Structure 1
Amino acid sequence: MIRPSLDRFAVRSFALAALAVLAACGDPEPIKVGIIVGLTGRSADLGEASRNAVQLAADEVNQSGGINGRPISLIALDDEGKPEAAAAAVRRAHEEGVVAIIGPNLSSTTTGMLPEINRLEVITISPTASSLDFVDIDDFLFRINWSTRENATIYAKHYHNMGIRNVAAAIDANNRAFSESWLNEFKSAFEALGDVTVVSDLFDANSDQGYSSTARKLLESQPDAVLLIANSVDTAQITQQIRKLDKQTLIVAAEWAASERLLQLGGKAIEGIEMVQSYDRNNQSERYLDFKSAYFERFKRLPGYASVASYDAALMLFAALRKDDDPKTLKKNLIGLPVIDGLQQPLKFNKYGDAERRAFFVTVQDGSFVQQ
């Protein structure tokens, strides 16, 4: 059941193996699920990780007989990391007849998709979008991730307890729905702890300004720590410029940067950089180790936080579809799900379709993420 790519947004349309035993009257009709993530652009590492994890989850369902006898068919569309492309991908997925969408990863592309998913009433489960703009709203967007408020507050308390009082932050102009929300929540939580200052600089990776200018501006205030609210590519490049000017100041990155691409691009400059990840890289549970092994065997790379969150998103969607694969009841069934065992933590949507994640601080040491 492989569907051809029909327009520029359909980077790859793929269907997973059909059921081992088919009904005598012919193949059962597949349940179509869209995946809308950035498969090109500066956050493509997150998109690929999400697509891979959902593919693995769907494979497992199909190999065990599908959902009520029907196989899952995945249709992957590239949002290009752009809000307008993400909105167009929603329309394309709806035309293809998907019952739901998993994605996107970025808050900016989620903002672009939101009017369309609500207009078309297509259930969409984002693994990683976290802007406060999406919280406590009764709509068709579900989120696996925590919000920027919860995440930024964790950072604020942690680094205040470490004695950090003066912070200089860089925020990404191309994902302001996330980066500005994150900074505002961090400032609010940090300043509530007393005797602190936070200065910030807005950077645009698409401009001609370059990262060296951003690095100089961040260091002008002689901060105790530099905070980078950016993707893995920009975080690596800004850190490299900072280290040319300053070898000692602590550099902290928002969770958005915490992917394997940061390790690949950062080199020695990112040694010592700290951030939060929403999963335990050292988890030794049988379930996670089986997932990790299957993921590596299939894709020749280790799973990251987007992989884990996307697999959990697929688990929730498939559990709701087992109750009833009618799209009209899917929203009610997702909210009504009991606690589901995720890869590393219990999963449950509240009445607004929001969920929670755990937090693990990591440091880059010898080219690897090491849990603190």
Structure 2
Amino acid sequence: MENFARKARYARHKLFYAVVYQVFFLSLLMGCKSKPPILVGFSGELTNSRSGGGVFCRNGIELAVEELNRNNGIHGRLIQLVTKDDQNRPEIARQVDAELAAQGVVAIIGHVTSAQTAATFAQNNQARMVVVNPVSASAEFSQQQDYFFRVVPGNDLLSRALARYIIQQRHIRTITGIYDIGNRTFSETFWKLFQQEFERLGGSARKELIFVAGRTDFQQFATQIQTTAPDALLVMASPVDTAFLLQYLAKQGVRVPTFSSTWAQTEQLIEKGGNAVEGLEMVSVYHPSNPYPAFQPFIKRFMERFKREPTFHAAYGYEAMLVLAEALKHTQGQTSGLPDALSSIRNFPGVQGLISMNAYGDVSRDVYIVRVSNGQFEIVATIPPEN
């Protein structure tokens, strides 16, 4: 009997503590849900043939939001992502950003191309809307005190790093530039900054050819490139356009050292380009086999959630959301003080390394030189941040 009574008391105690735990957990959950969510906007290209970067970027942000919310959000307030498709059109980009502002988002993460970022830049600054950009690298946004912040290094740093690599390590002295003026804010500024550094180092980068994505006949354009007899090429275009252009150049028998900007580094480049993109080298903000401790776990979680390997768009979208969340913790989820909180971020652990912001919202972090080798992106050089 005494043994039976002891067991009964143990069962009652176990049930009591189980009930207490459930009540405590539900009270936390209800407390979190009773607080209004923090609205965060995303604007990016999601619906056309060149929308791969936008989709990956959004997915990276979604993963970050889900993980943050599982950890009590921002001081008990859940984050709600409000997504808009800018269709890669300036007028639509301005429209959807205005819609997000009207819905009360604390900040916007976006856009995916520098052209759409430029189209909305003045509007968002005038509205005092904080923008945390994942991948727009145009130097037009550098060194300005405004409401624009980004986790990707600017074109000024990237173009100088690539010029130094080509001159000093590849020993190439003459190069021809090819760029898409449909995203002129990125591509043209990258080329002009590259020219300055390349020629400062004693090279010649005076020849250039331009095209418009979706309008230029690449077969004819490849013939035009062939007639210039280039020693080397620097292509500043989307992954799809870079892949197709190199295929046409291969058919024309143009086989010269070819380089590109970070814009081209997605799976689409290899899927569409095949053998034609083998050996292509590019300056990159993304190390696909980065030994940084947070990176491999991020890849695993992303693949479990979306059934695809992440691209740099996904990693930088994820980091942009984490950086914004870190700043929001300091402002209690409010917009007031958010710019100062963002510009104060130092040595924040991202998935590719430590992230630090300066007073202008520009980031300091490593960049890389990547080569396409056997259908994979292979790191051939790491370039530390400039002082």
TM-score between the two structures when normalised by the length of structure 1: 0.91
Matched position secondary structure for 1:369: strand
- Does the Cα contact within 8 Å between 1:279 and 1:358 map onto a contact in 2? no
1:224 aligns with 2:198: no
1:52 aligns with 2:41: no
1:87-102 equivalent positions in 2, closer than 5 A: 87-102=94-109
* 1:83-108 per-position Cα deviation (integer Å, ceiling 9, x unaligned): 22111111011111100011112110
Look up the match of 1:190.
Answer: 198
Q: State the alpha-carbon separation in 1 of the partners of residues 33 and 167 from structure 2.
A: 63
Look up the match of 1:7.
Answer: none
- The one of 297, 301, 311 aligned to 1:304: 311
Q: State the alpha-carbon separation in 2 of the partners of residues 58 and 96 from structure 1.
A: 18
Look up the match of 1:178.
Answer: 186
Look up the match of 1:76.
Answer: 83
Look up the match of 2:280.
Answer: 273
Look up the match of 1:13.
Answer: none
- The one of 137, 140, 146 aligned to 1:130: 137
* 1:224-283 per-position Cα deviation (integer Å, ceiling 9, x unaligned): 211110011110111111101125211211110111111111122111111122122112
- Does the Cα contact within 8 Å between 2:84 and 2:96 map onto a contact in 1? yes
Q: CA deviation at 1:336?
A: 2.2
Using a 3 Å threshold, how does the CA distance of structure 1 residues 71 and 197 change in structure 2: closer, same or farther? closer
The CA RMSD measured in Å over matched residues stands at 1.7
Look up the match of 2:242.
Answer: 235
What amino acid does structure 1 have at the position aligned with 2:101?
A: H
Matched position secondary structure for 2:337: helix
What amino acid does structure 2 have at the position aligned with 1:28?
A: K
Larger helix share, 1 or 2: 2
Unaligned runs of 5+ in 2: 1-25, 381-387
1:333 aligns with 2:344: no
* 1:270-309 per-position Cα deviation (integer Å, ceiling 9, x unaligned): 1111112212211234421111000011111111111122
Look up the match of 1:31.
Answer: 38
1:317 aligns with 2:320: no
Q: State the alpha-carbon separation in 2 of the partners of residues 159 and 25 from structure 1.
A: 53
- Does the Cα contact within 8 Å between 2:242 and 2:269 map onto a contact in 1? yes
- Does the Cα contact within 8 Å between 2:35 and 2:77 map onto a contact in 1? yes
What amino acid does structure 2 have at the position aligned with 1:50?
A: C
* 1:98-129 per-position Cα deviation (integer Å, ceiling 9, x unaligned): 00011112110001111221121110011111
- What percent of counterpart residues are identical? 31
Q: CA deviation at 1:51?
A: 0.5
* 1:194-245 per-position Cα deviation (integer Å, ceiling 9, x unaligned): 14243111101232x4012222222323222111100111101111111011
TM-score between the two structures when normalised by the length of structure 2: 0.87
Look up the match of 2:155.
Answer: 148
Which consecutive segments of 4 or more residues in structure 1 shift more than 6 A? none
- Does the Cα contact within 8 Å between 2:177 and 2:205 map onto a contact in 1? no
Matched position secondary structure for 1:171: strand
Using a 3 Å threshold, how does the CA distance of structure 1 residues 225 and 20 change in structure 2: closer, same or farther? farther
Q: CA deviation at 1:20?
A: 9.1
* 1:45-97 per-position Cα deviation (integer Å, ceiling 9, x unaligned): 11111101111111111001111100010011111112221111110111111
Q: State the alpha-carbon separation in 1 of the partners of residues 188 and 278 from structure 2.
A: 26
Using a 3 Å threshold, how does the CA distance of structure 1 residues 26 and 227 change in structure 2: closer, same or farther? closer
1:362 aligns with 2:387: no
